[in-house]
């Protein structure tokens, strides 16, 4: 019997990419590939790239070069780029990076096994040719679902797409293979984005917004629960738009309670929320539904009206503060995080001062700060009023320092409160996890004291007794959950 072909998936970027990698893994395993963790042990290393900002692109190129260095020194014979950077640049990336043996776009995902086999056999796969994916679906959202089967939508794998053997014939089935045993997993609600933020290139290479069917989302949540997942994180480019192309903009409110009711799922977390699209009913569901954590990942980006208008976004400091006040009136300990761009073209000192005022008053738990830089193909890249690199760097440093101070202050306000901690690391007697207001990888950790027998995946009720920046220190009270 011939030795099985081996493949390693190296994933960069956001949680959406992680879902895409697990769909690719499901397809490859179903076609007989053996999945391995280390690229050095793989015949083919597949790098799922990120194409969002310059730093992410550099990381993606570095990962491809690192995988290429394995060739000739072990088992690795080929390195293939997939993901957002490959989709966005295609042949341009292939020409600039000849070390990559293939550059595949989203349209190649359904035939990923044959593509990799061709490359491994010494054949040539023509590099992906980028196109504006917004043109692939009807302009009117409600007309998109009928056309969706003709468009590649990574992470939307549905039972009808399943190859034989990818999942049991009975029970929930999904086109996905878990690449780790983490008790937390992301679930895609949708792909693409209809917003036209002047600084963002994502809609051009991810396409127009299209929702997954609720039954597919729910089935995947059930399948993940069977794999040991207890926290489901709902992701997309814009979760607040979920359902608009299915004829019900309030569909998320219904779906949240259904996912929270899945046996084995203890936490449901919603990410990627647009402040301008938040509605009272969604806030009510997110703050009152058992199992749905009151966590608000709100994409503010700025708070000065003049800058927001140039960004093609909406709102201002007072409106955003009012939104946060409404949330906290319903759930005082709700988590809130956001990202901000400083140094946007035309941003004045007065605009920046307004942003500083918002960050000072907002009481956010976690903040990401980015200095503006031109992105290929975006409207903002054509704007006049570009600020000097020194000014951008200065404002980046100033807001970063303020953000650190404000998030540390918010953490201190949690001292004395009760939290529920999901244990994610136990090493050398140190137990670390996340409280409900802390999302994976972005929002800090909680160190758990007095839980000497804790194991990864367990939940503990605890009292916050101290802080270290955004991180909490909590004293365990008792284990909670199904196995307590």
Whether residue 201 contacts residue 377, with contact meaning beta carbons closer than 8 Å, is answered with yes
Report the C-alpha gap between 197 and 293 in whole angstroms. Answer: 28
Q: Quick count: other Cβ atoms within 10 Å of Cβ 2? A: 5
Residue 14 annotated in ligand binding: yes
Report the C-alpha gap between 26 and 166 in whole angstroms. Answer: 6
**Count of alpha carbons within 13 Å of 95, Cβ hemisphere only?**
6
Q: What are phi and psi of 313, to 5 degrees?
A: -125, 175
Within 227-338, residue ranges assigned H as helices are 251-260, 280-288, 305-310, 317-330
Closest CA to 141 of 240, 208, 215, 200: 208
Residue 4 Cα distances to 119, 121, 316, angstroms: 16, 14, 57
Task: List the structure tokens of 442.
Answer: 């972005």
**122 SS3 class:** coil
Closest CA to 349 of 318, 395, 314: 395
Residue 193 annotated in ligand binding: yes
Residue 84 annotated in ligand binding: yes
**170 SS3 class:** coil
DSSP single-letter state for residue 111: G
Q: Quick count: other Cβ atoms within 10 Å of Cβ 256? A: 20
Whether residue 334 contacts residue 372, with contact meaning beta carbons closer than 8 Å, is answered with no
CA 146 to chain CA centroid, Å, is 26
Q: Quick count: other Cβ atoms within 10 Å of Cβ 290? A: 9
Whether residue 67 contacts residue 37, with contact meaning beta carbons closer than 8 Å, is answered with no
Residue 79 annotated in ligand binding: no
Residue list for the binding site for [4Fe-4S] cluster: 14, 50, 84, 193, 197, 200
Binding residues: 14, 50, 84, 193, 197, 200
């Amino acid at each position: 019997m011939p030795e099985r072909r081996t493949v390693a998936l190296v994933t960069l970027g956001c949680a959406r990419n992680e879902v895409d990698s697990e769909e690719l893994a499901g397809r490859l395993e179903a076609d007989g590939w053996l999945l391995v963790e280390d690229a050095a042990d793989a015949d083919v290393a597949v790098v799922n790239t990120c194409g969002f900002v310059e730093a992410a692109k550099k990381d993606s190129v570095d990962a491809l070069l690192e995988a290429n260095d394995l060739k000739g020194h072990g088992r690795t014979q080929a390195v293939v780029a997939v993901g957002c950077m490959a989709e966005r640049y295609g042949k341009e990336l292939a020409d600039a990076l000849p070390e990559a043996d293939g550059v595949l776009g989203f349209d190649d995902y359904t035939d990923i096994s044959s593509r990799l086999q061709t490359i491994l056999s010494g054949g040539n796969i023509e590099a992906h040719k980028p196109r504006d994916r917004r043109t692939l679906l009807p302009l009117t959202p409600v007309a998109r679902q009928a056309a969706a089967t003709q468009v590649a939508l990574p992470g939307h794998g549905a039972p009808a797409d399943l190859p034989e053997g990818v999942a049991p014939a009975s029970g929930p089935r999904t086109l996905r293979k878990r690449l780790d045993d983490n008790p937390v997993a992301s679930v895609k609600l949708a792909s693409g984005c209809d917003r036209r933020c002047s600084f963002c290139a994502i809609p051009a290479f991810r396409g127009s917004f299209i929702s997954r069917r609720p039954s597919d989302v729910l089935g995947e949540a059930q399948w993940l629960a069977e794999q040991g997942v207890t926290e489901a994180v709902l992701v997309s480019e814009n979760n607040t738009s979920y359902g608009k192309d299915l004829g019900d903009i309030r569909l998320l409110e219904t779906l949240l309670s259904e996912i929270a009711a899945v046996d084995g799922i203890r936490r449901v977390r919603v990410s990627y929320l647009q402040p301008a699209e938040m509605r009272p009913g969604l806030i009510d569901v997110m703050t009152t539904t058992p199992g749905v954590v009151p966590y608000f990942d709100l994409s503010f980006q700025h708070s000065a009206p003049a800058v927001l208008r140039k960004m093609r976004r909406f709102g201002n400091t007072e409106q955003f503060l009012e939104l946060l006040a409404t949330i906290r009136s319903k759930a005082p300990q709700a988590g809130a995080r956001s990202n901000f761009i400083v140094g946007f073209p035309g941003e004045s000192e007065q605009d920046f001062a307004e942003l500083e005022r918002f960050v000072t008053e907002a009481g956010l738990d976690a903040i990401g700060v980015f200095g503006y830089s031109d992105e290929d193909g975006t409207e903002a890249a054509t704007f006049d009023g570009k600020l000097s690199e020194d000014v951008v760097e200065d404002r980046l440093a100033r807001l970063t320092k303020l953000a650190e101070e404000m998030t540390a202050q918010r953490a201190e306000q949690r001292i004395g409160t009760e939290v529920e901690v999901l244990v994610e690391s136990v090493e050398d007697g140190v137990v670390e996890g996340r409280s409900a207001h802390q999302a994976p990888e972005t929002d800090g950790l909680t160190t758990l004291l007095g839980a000497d027998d804790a194991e990864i995946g367990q939940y503990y009720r605890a009292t916050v007794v101290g802080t270290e920046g955004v991180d909490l220190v909590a004293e365990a009270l008792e284990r909670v959950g199904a196995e307590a």
